[in-house]
Structure 1
């Protein structure tokens, strides 16, 4: 069964907005999104995300446009733990299962769903292939997610990366509704299977 959503966030960290069109099928996710921001500079982003089973990233394609021009990133995960960016190996992120597109609340979903952190107790540490926006450089990022409690129809989960920490709100389907310091969801319409 395929479930579709159209989600829009106000991205306060960039003074902009993002809309993502998502399709979930079993434990896979396909998404395409558009974002516009004015910090750290005026930019436009478009992306396509594809995961394999268990929400493990297979591919992220991103295009960024700024006042100095446009550029693209093609990030691939081979399923065996190795990554490439535009065909070049990225040994610093080998072993990571997920990408994390900067300023994009959607990419917090994959590790949460994989480990059911929106459903009950748990704490997990991750290595992520983090993509900086708008320059699209890829960096290794150590992150942790900790289920704090159920809240309403979702859950509150603590996100930590380095010195940064934020308690995120997720809905019952594992999608971010509020990411203090980064974004809050303005709308989210579930499609019909």
Structure 2
């Protein structure tokens, strides 16, 4: 099992962010995340994701809140069948993955399952796409194509309908940059004007 890693992505599309603690154990991924945005309306969400031993979604639990409402969804996949809030969703049964809108973490599963961060591949997928902030679950057909390797990972082209973006992926399969959506935040070294203020914190000196 790898040590848990924390990721923060700045999301231009929603004028917000996505954060996640993610752990890989063999071919399993577990993650707990939070996200917030100002577009299309101010919202925040919390989610927990678990995959099976082939990086295919086992469960996604999501809660969403906005100014005058809220929603929650419990997606489960077992024996090739999906349920949403306990109700069968046969329209999703061709899907192996969920895709939570504006959350780059969920691009990781198809990349890792097919090794697109390390070598060639061109694959079409059916996804259980979760809209944000409504959490409506719809079918989405997507394509991932390895374009080239880089010093730090790979560039993988994502396509869905008329939308296309060339994702920068690190060597572990996680999104670094997602043109037209956002990019991962990389902390800058602390300058001379910043001093530590106890474990895990910093403040102006």
- TM-score of the two chains, using structure 1 as the length reference: 0.95
RMSD of the alignment, in Å? 1.0
Query: How far did residue 3 of structure 1 move?
Result: 2.9
Query: How far did residue 92 of structure 1 move?
Result: 1.3
Other-structure match for 2:166:
167
Query: How far did residue 81 of structure 1 move?
Result: 1.7
Q: Which consecutive residues of structure 2, in runs of 5 or more, have no partner in the other structure?
A: 188-205
Query: How far did residue 187 of structure 1 move?
Result: 3.2
Matched, 1:142 2:141: yes
The structure that has the greater radius of gyration is 2
Other-structure match for 2:126:
127
Alignment of 1:35-50 (within 5 A): 35-50=35-50
Other-structure match for 1:112:
111
Separation in 1 of the partners of 2:3 and 2:158? 26
Separation in 2 of the partners of 1:68 and 1:111? 35
Separation in 2 of the partners of 1:81 and 1:141? 17
Other-structure match for 1:191:
none
Other-structure match for 1:90:
89
Alignment of 1:153-164 (within 5 A): 153-164=152-163
Alignment of 1:26-105 (within 5 A): 26-78=26-78, 80-105=79-104
Other-structure match for 1:13:
13
Q: Is the 8 A contact 1:3 1:25 kept in 2?
A: no
Separation in 2 of the partners of 1:42 and 1:103? 14
Q: Is the 8 A contact 1:7 1:187 kept in 2?
A: no
Other-structure match for 1:151:
150
SS at match of 1:157: strand
1:132-152: CA deviation from partner (whole Å, max 9, x where unpaired):
000001011000000000122
Query: How far did residue 183 of structure 1 move?
Result: 1.3
Query: How far did residue 4 of structure 1 move?
Result: 1.5
1:62-107: CA deviation from partner (whole Å, max 9, x where unpaired):
00000112211000001x2211110111111112110000111000
